[in-house]
Amino acid sequence: EAGVAQSPRYKIIEKRQSVAFWCNPISGHATLYWYQQILGQGPKLLIQFQNNGVVDDSQLPKDRFSAERLKGVDSTLKIQPAKLEDSAVYLCASSHGHQASYEQYFGPGTRLTVT
Amino acid sequence: SQQGEEDPQALSIQEGENATMNCSYKTSINNLQWYRQNSGRGLVHLILIRSNEREKHSGRLRVTLDTSKKSSSLLITASRAADTASYFCATAKAAGNKLTFGGGTRVLVKP
């Protein structure tokens, strides 16, 4: 079974620029998550989708971050404009459903450096 | 804010020794999960223990959960160099599957 795919793997941008990350979840997984992991910390959930609807975006900085999952499969996370504190690894994960017992499968992440 | 807090933050052991790390959390949970992260394979799910379970085993891993103390422990027996990684606990509440991760324990297994 193919895992969660993410691209790009690395991205370096200057502050105030914009950037977009792409995620393709495991086939058949209805729930998709975006996490932000700052160096030395655990991942923090930014947004959770169930099919193409948002379940939880309470920790998404909506003034600069946006995410979509238009057809309920692939998802894109965008930052515009980026700040220095956005430097982190952005992880995408997927699971069969949104019930608490479902295991989440993580992609390799995109490492973003904002200079 | 992070729900789980791991202890210790870092651990260095010799190959063959056991490694134990602890996780404390603050609110009621549906389950608690342990993940491993290294540079080569990203974040990998290790084991899930439900709130009505007290102990669970998977290979060389043993997890305990004490809901009265809001704490969990992960034991890795007979450690190997390949176990070198960061280990995170994550809690899931009853509603939804939102995981709240702790800060992690960095484990170094020396050959």
Q: What is the CA radius of gyration of chain A?
A: 13
**pLDDT in single tens digits along all 111 residues of chain B:** 456 688 899 999 999 999 999 999 998 999 999 999 987 668 999 999 999 999 999 999 999 999 999 999 999 999 999 999 999 999 988 766 789 999 999 999 999
Please return the burial class of B32, using the count of CB atoms within 10 Å of its CB with bins 0-12, 13-18 and 19+.
Answer: buried
pLDDT of residue B1: 44
| CA–CA gap between residue A34 and residue A4 (Å, rounded) | 12
Please name the member of A102, A105, A108 whose beta carbon is closest to the beta carbon of B97.
Answer: A102
| CA–CA gap between residue A17 and residue A11 (Å, rounded) | 12
pLDDT of residue B80: 97
> Residue A97: pLDDT above 60?
yes
Q: What is the mean pLDDT of chain A?
A: 94
For the segment A47-74, the average pLDDT, to the nearest whole number, is 94
What residue in A sits closest to B91 (Cα-Cα)?
A: A100
Of B39, B21, B27, nearest to B1 by C-alpha is B27
Put simply, the answer to whether B42 touches A108 (Cβ < 8 Å) is yes
Q: Residue B89, SS3?
A: strand
Please name the member of A41, A45, A108 whose beta carbon is closest to the beta carbon of B99.
Answer: A45
Using a CB-CB distance cutoff of 8 angstroms, which residues of chain A are in contact with residue B2? 41-42, 44
Please name the member of A43, A100, A106 whose beta carbon is closest to the beta carbon of B96.
Answer: A100
Put simply, the answer to whether B96 touches A109 (Cβ < 8 Å) is no
The whole-angstrom distance between A24's CA and the closest CA on chain B is: 16
| CA–CA gap between residue B50 and residue B31 (Å, rounded) | 4
